[in-house]
Amino acid sequence: MITTINERVYALSTKTTTYLFEVLPSGHLEHLYYGPLLPQVTSDEALAFAQKRACECGNTIIYSDDDPDVMLENTPLEMSAEGKGDIREPFIEVIHENGSRTSDFLFQKAEILAKKDPYDTLPGSYGLAGNNHLVITLKDQQADLRLELHYYVYEDEDVICRSSRLINDSDETVTLNRLMSTQLDLTNNDYVMTSFTGSWSNEMNRHDTSLLAGKHEISSFTGTSSSRANPFVMISEKNTSEDYGSCYGMNLIYSGNHYEMAEVNAYGQTHFLSGINPRGFQWVLEPHETFEAPEAVMTYSHEGWSVLSLHMHAFIREHIVRGEWKHKPRPVLLNSWEAYYFQFNEHKLLSLAKKAKQVGIELFVLDDGWFGHRDDDTSSLGDWFVNSKKLPHGLKYFGEKIHELGMDFGLWIEPEMVNVKSTLYQEHPDWTLAIPHTPHSEGRHQRLLDLTRKDVVDHLEKVMSDLFSSAPIDYIKWDMNRIISDAFSPSLEASRQGEVFHRYVLGLYDLMHRLTVKFPHILFEGCAAGGNRFDLGILCFFPQIWASDNTDPICRAQIQENYSYGYPLSVFSAHVSASPNHQTLRQTSLKTRFDVATFAILGYELNLNDLSKNALEEVKQQITWYKQYRTILQEGHFYRTMQKQNDRQEYSWTCVAQDQSCAIGFTLQTLVHPHQPFHTYKARGLDPMKCYSFQNVSHKEDIRRFGDLINSQIPIHIKPDSLTQKVASQFVKLEGEKDYYASLSGASLMYGGICLKTSYTGTGYNENVRLYQDFDSRLYLMKAL
Ligand code: DGJ
């Protein structure tokens, strides 16, 4: 809800939060409050919260003689500009034709609208209810420039989105050096900024940085939102935990270079900005043109990060993800990449597909290597016709075979790229981002097509449309494997080269928009060398994203847990792959690989033909189990239930059905501690008053886990790693422990928790002992009675 008090104070309220600002007599917008819901907002609140300014503050700048108490350097604002005494990082930076960089934007009008603008050039949130769109128009006092600040209030999800637009009403051409999407000024410091940084196969490492003085910047300059730094960040009061504390979550609906910056000024105030990264950005704004900044997403929780995450999850599920697949259960897929990489043929693929069908796979995905002359990563990107050596009967035939087997058919593409070794490059060398007559720096032997050009986007739309119509394609994995270097578009004049990064993203969105509208039934999955473009911009078009090329469950537990701070489980996929794992060579059980991947959109990515009969049976049971509970896992309320951050050895999660009738619990041991037999699992999010049964999902243990210890229990001697041991292990399986309670209240499960069966500590083993050693995991099922 948006309310106005005396046409001066604006209160934006969601179910549990209030956001407040006022128009100062000078015309500046003073930010007053963003926190727990205020039951009432009157002009008294505004008076109480407003900064008290009575006289000049040291050697700060006085805004004007008419407003002697306005000093912009230390006033919490909705928007900071260069040049009038506000020396913090600016929200907007404009260079006028005469070279001046000073801007002076003051309030002109406010409008409350019923709707949000439809998608124009940039994707954004949708499905806004009621009169929940506020537009504040500010006017520059020196030039005919209008700055619009847009606020969208999503009441049910406790989210407020902001975006901004600069409109050039003048006859002069101005240069925009930056236009941010949101600014949040907090009156104190000592917050903790949480960011998620990484690299290929090492996405989403969490960092907590104290904001005490100076600037802390999280940004990307890869041309993508990047695995180097995800645009989702949190700003929390010190000592915030999953359950307690005041915290803000911020994200950006953008897939290019982004920037999140927190600055503590000399007055101990915290100034936060988020938007397109100003580094390498410059936009020439001609008379009567508009520049639009992407939307930023903000939420607040005074009950710690769990609630913050629930807000973000609900918002993304309802107001970002769209189309036919929005709430459809996502199919369990098998991806050919880690099974065969580039070395496959029709026969190999079909035999894999038959096995996939037998174990219950619903979607067979043919990954890289099916087109042109692609036998490795040095050639053929751009040549989107079938590799007839590998698939002699063509793609249509192959897709139909998969359909005949009773599975959907999916295909990998990387439309934004071209290899120099390709027909496309030979025909259109000028279609790439490259500096003419200059050596080009390659990434994975490939170059980016120049998506700033409309003719290139038109070409890709045609080629991809033809491809998608040429075979029965139900799913597309859209990959993007290099970052941008040599950022130059020969089609743009010199003064516009600062626009290349952003124009590339606009071209990409245009292409994604055209193709997803044309092929609404196709399930698209985003990917960029794993999670190098995991962001809300992509999610406006594609309902799911491949989270990381790292499929090691121990690494994945951390990666998935950290994505979960800002993103729901329904948007990231995870695959059970081979052991030893291809990225880490770590060995883990099939159970652990499944248990981790089940807390995401489940898939498999390994050669099923290499699995034993027992292992295939286990996979079949896993998939059957997942299908039974996937609605909860994909659409339920997800909680991280382990509080320890440092020196932790375990992960613990709970995913609860929206109606609280059922929940799935998960625990994972990383490295076992000696003689630590007692572990407690505590659920979250249950109905405290309901009664639930509790049990672990049953499993069997392999006798080989005991190595030569087994000899102390049996009359014969079995040599470890011998054939006899292998054969014995096929026939003799140990039943895992059973943790079972017929009826416990939700309150007991959440507050007391379950003291689980004792863990193996080297002093005995029987059916009441839990083998919970290195890399072991458990799934628990709680069902309301
Ligand atoms: C990178 C992706 O993340 C992988 O899953 C795989 O599709 C390869 N590219 C194929 O080249």
ω before 580 within 30° of 0 (cis)? yes
Is 352 found in the same domain as 296? no
Mean pLDDT throughout 752-759? 96
pLDDT score of 643 = 55
- Model-wide pTM > 0.85: yes
Among residues 488, 517, 546, which one ends one of the domains?
A: 546
605 lines ligand 1 (CB under 6 A): no
Q: What is the pLDDT of residues 167-226, one digit of tens each?
A: 999 999 999 999 999 999 999 998 999 999 999 999 999 999 999 999 999 999 999 999
| Enzyme catalytic residues | 479, 549
pLDDT score of 490 = 96
CA–centroid distance for 629 within its chain: 23
Q: What is the pLDDT of residues 489-509, one digit of tens each?
A: 999 999 999 999 999 999 999
Q: Which atom of ligand 1 lies closest to the CA of 377?
A: 11
546 lines ligand 1 (CB under 6 A): yes
Q: What is the pLDDT of residues 3-21, one digit of tens each?
A: 999 999 999 999 999 999 9
CATH number, residue 646: 2.60.40.1180
334 CA distance to ligand 1 middle (Å): 14
Is 127 within the bounds of a domain? yes
Among residues 519, 546, 573, which one ends one of the domains?
A: 546
Q: What is the pLDDT of residues 251-282, one digit of tens each?
A: 999 999 999 999 999 999 999 999 999 999 99
Q: What is the pLDDT of residues 656-698, one digit of tens each?
A: 999 999 999 999 999 998 898 999 999 999 999 999 999 999 9
pLDDT score of 383 = 98
Is 205 found in the same domain as 58? yes
Pocket test for ligand 1, best of 479, 532, 577 (most atoms within 8 A of CB): 479
Is 340 found in the same domain as 303? no
Between 731 and 365, name the one with better pLDDT. Answer: 365
Is 108 within the bounds of a domain? yes
Is 556 within the bounds of a domain? no
Is 752 found in the same domain as 695? yes
Is 633 within the bounds of a domain? no
| Structural domains in the chain (count) | 3
Residue nearest to atom 5 of ligand 1 (CA): 549
Is 317 within the bounds of a domain? no
Say what percent of the chain tops pLDDT 90.
94
CA-wise closest residue to 433 among 278, 256, 203, 252: 256
Residue nearest to atom 10 of ligand 1 (CA): 368
Q: What is the pLDDT of residues 434-467, one digit of tens each?
A: 999 999 999 999 999 999 999 999 999 999 999 9
d(CA 572, CA 231): 16
Is 624 within the bounds of a domain? no
Answer whether 642's CB lies under 8 Å from 777's CB. no
555 CA distance to ligand 1 middle (Å): 18
CATH number, residue 494: 3.20.20.70
Is 338 found in the same domain as 293? no
Q: Mean pLDDT over all residues of the chain?
A: 96
Is 95 found in the same domain as 27? yes
Is 630 within the bounds of a domain? no
CATH number, residue 284: 2.70.98.60
Say what percent of the chain tops pLDDT 70.
99
Q: Which atom of ligand 1 lies closest to the CA of 412?
A: 7
Mean pLDDT throughout 236-258? 97
Mean pLDDT throughout 25-44? 96
Burial code of 72-95, b = ≥16 C-beta within 10 A, e = fewer? bbbbbbbbbbbbbebbbbbbbbbb
In the three-class reduction of DSSP (H, G, I as helix; E, B as strand; rest coil), residue 693 is classed as strand
Is 416 within the bounds of a domain? yes
Is 220 found in the same domain as 269? yes
549 lines ligand 1 (CB under 6 A): yes
Q: Lowest mean pLDDT of 37-51, 92-106, 279-293, 367-381, name the range.
A: 37-51
pLDDT score of 645 = 47
Structural domain boundaries, residue 717: 638-784
pLDDT score of 156 = 98
Is 342 found in the same domain as 277? no
Is 461 found in the same domain as 357? yes
Mean pLDDT throughout 744-772? 95
d(CA 583, CA 129): 46
Among residues 546, 569, 599, which one ends one of the domains?
A: 546
Is 383 labeled as ligand-binding?
no
22 lines ligand 1 (CB under 6 A): no
583 CA distance to ligand 1 middle (Å): 13
Mean pLDDT throughout 386-407? 98
Is 217 found in the same domain as 69? yes
Is 291 found in the same domain as 170? yes
479 CA distance to ligand 1 middle (Å): 7
Pocket test for ligand 1, best of 227, 412, 550 (most atoms within 8 A of CB): 412
Between the alpha carbon of residue 142 and those of residues 19, 101, 282, 544, the distances in Å are: 30, 11, 21, 46
Q: β-strand 544-546 against 523-526: which pairing, if any?
A: parallel
Q: What is the pLDDT of residues 557-595, one digit of tens each?
A: 999 999 999 999 999 999 999 999 999 999 999 999 999
- Classify the phi-psi angles of 614: left when phi > 0, otherwise alpha if psi is within -120 to 50, otherwise beta: alpha
Mean pLDDT throughout 706-723? 90
> Any alpha helices (H) in 534-637, and if so which ranges?
536-539, 553-563, 590-597, 613-635
Is 480 found in the same domain as 364? yes
Q: What is the pLDDT of residues 607-664, one digit of tens each?
A: 999 999 999 999 999 999 999 999 999 999 999 987 554 566 789 999 999 999 999 9
